[in-house]
Amino acid sequence: MAAESGKIDPMHQFLIEPLFGQDWAIAGHNIAFTNSALWMVITLAALWLFMLGGMKRELVPGRWQVMVEGFTGFITSMMHANIGPEGKKFTPYVFSLFMFILIANILGMMPVGIVGVHPFTVTSHLTVTGVLAIISFSIVLIVGFWRHGFHFFSLFVPHGTPGYMVPLIFMIELFSFMIRPFSLGLRLFVAMTAGHILMKVLAGFVINGLNAGALTVAIVSIPSFILMIGITLLELLVCAIQAYVFALLTSLYLNDAIHLH
Amino acid sequence: MPQIAQIAATYASQIFWLLIIFGLIYVGIGKGMLPKIEATVEARDQKIASDLAAAEAARAKADETEAAYRASIEEARNASLKAKAEAKAAATLEAEKKVRAVDAELAAKMAVAEAALKGAQARALGEIESVAAEAAQEIVTKVSGLTVDKAAADRAVKSALAA
């Protein structure tokens, strides 16, 4: 928080700062290890630790194993429900996607700021969500053309379309298809960004109200704080919902690519 | 908004690290751990299913055993009933036979006894006749002093008894 000016900048939390390796580069592009990269590594470590608890592979599972199996079973059954038996091939990808987004979202909500660490939400960056969306979309395209060749274009002409409507419907369907990676990436980015800005703004109200005197504490800080508790719970829900939506939409798009209509 | 303002400066670094981290997650967790966990779940489901099937089979076998037991009990009961009926019939037959034999014996004895009785009666009658004839001879002798020979007396007694 940029407290120098006496104001709290709700955007500061999204700032990317290189931690080390500022001069690392690949083909002229800087690939410094930033706070974003650090939180990705933390996400990986947290996910790996979580999954390790499920690797005891006991016949009668313990609590942790049940939890891990709950997550894997959730994605596996979602893939089975949306795609069918062919969906099994894509379960590792969708599971990785879901868990990465979920844990990155939740880690961004952790109150580590109390101990002086700057929390950073990896998924609040358009670059990250965009890349994930493009990977999903590319898989859909590759699978679609691999399995159906040019017949894949029949996806854009629903059954029973009258002949004279085909060009128009084709354009509309193509447009709605091409917009998918943008909506997929933007949805997560916007949801995370908006939630975090809202929380920072409310936190700013609380802190500035505390500095301004007893009356502002009563009419600004306390209501803001109560609202913040609710918003925090809501944001935790959004973290899970956005990860689920991303995984669900990926599975639905994959279903389109595999089964056409 | 730093996400947009910084995008030109940081996209390469973000993409690079994202690809590395996400690649590690996909290979290590998605491809490495997930199938094993799924296999564990599947093995458990199969174990439960096979245990249930085994229990069902055991139940069916128990039912079968019980049915066989009931059948054998029924059979034994029928056999015993039959044996009882046979024994009863045989016993009745035997008893009848014995009764008949005893009847025949008794009839024979009775015939012998009757014959003896008849003989005795005849003998008694004969004696009565001779006694009566002697008495008649004596009575005639005493009353009239006449002597009646034995044959005449016999004839007179016989005709008097027959009358």
Burial class of A13 by CB neighbour count within 10 A (0 to 12, 13 to 18, 19+): buried
In a domain, A102, yes or no: yes
Domain assignments of chain B as residue spans, ordered by start: 2-162
In a domain, A4, yes or no: no
Cross-chain residue pair A193–B3, CB shorter than 8 Å: yes
Interface ipTM > 0.90: no
| String of DSSP letters for chain A | ---TTSS--TTGGG---EEE-TT-EETTEE--EEHHHHHHHHHHHHHHHHHHTTTT--SS--HHHHHHHHHHHHHHHHHHHHT-GGGGGGHHHHHHHHHHHHHHHHHHHS-GGGGT-----GGGSHHHHHHHHHHHHHHHHHHHHHHHGGGGGGGGS-TT--GGGHHHHHHHHHHHHHTHHHHHHHHHHHHHHHHHHHHHHHHHHHHHHHHH-HHHIIIIIHHHHHHHHHHHHHHHHHHHHHHHHHHHHHHHHHHHHHH--
Mean pLDDT in residue range A54-64: 83
Cross-chain residue pair B14–A36, CB shorter than 8 Å: yes
- Quote the domain boundaries for residue A40: 12-259
Residues of chain B found within 8 Å of residue A128, distances taken between Cβ atoms? 14, 18
- In a mutational test of the A interface, the residue from B4, B13, B36, B46 whose CB has the highest number of chain A CBs within 10 Å is B13
In a domain, A143, yes or no: yes
B8/A contact by beta carbon, under 8 A:
no
In a domain, A220, yes or no: yes
pLDDT above 70 for A4:
no
- pLDDT tens digits for range B80-104: 999 999 999 999 999 999 999 999 9
In a domain, A7, yes or no: no
In a domain, A52, yes or no: yes
- In a mutational test of the B interface, the residue from A35, A66, A72 whose CB has the highest number of chain B CBs within 10 Å is A72
B48/A contact by beta carbon, under 8 A:
no
- pLDDT tens digits for range B29-83: 999 999 999 999 999 999 999 999 999 999 999 999 999 999 999 999 999 999 9
- pLDDT tens digits for range A194-244: 999 998 888 888 888 888 888 888 888 898 999 999 999 999 999 999 999
Total domain count for chain A?
A: 1
pLDDT recorded at residue A7: 65
- pLDDT tens digits for range A67-78: 999 999 999 999
Cross-chain residue pair B7–A127, CB shorter than 8 Å: yes
In a domain, A2, yes or no: no
Average pLDDT of chain A to the nearest whole number:
88
**Closest by alpha carbon to B37, among A86, A72, A50?**
A72
B52/A contact by beta carbon, under 8 A:
no
pLDDT above 60 for A2:
no
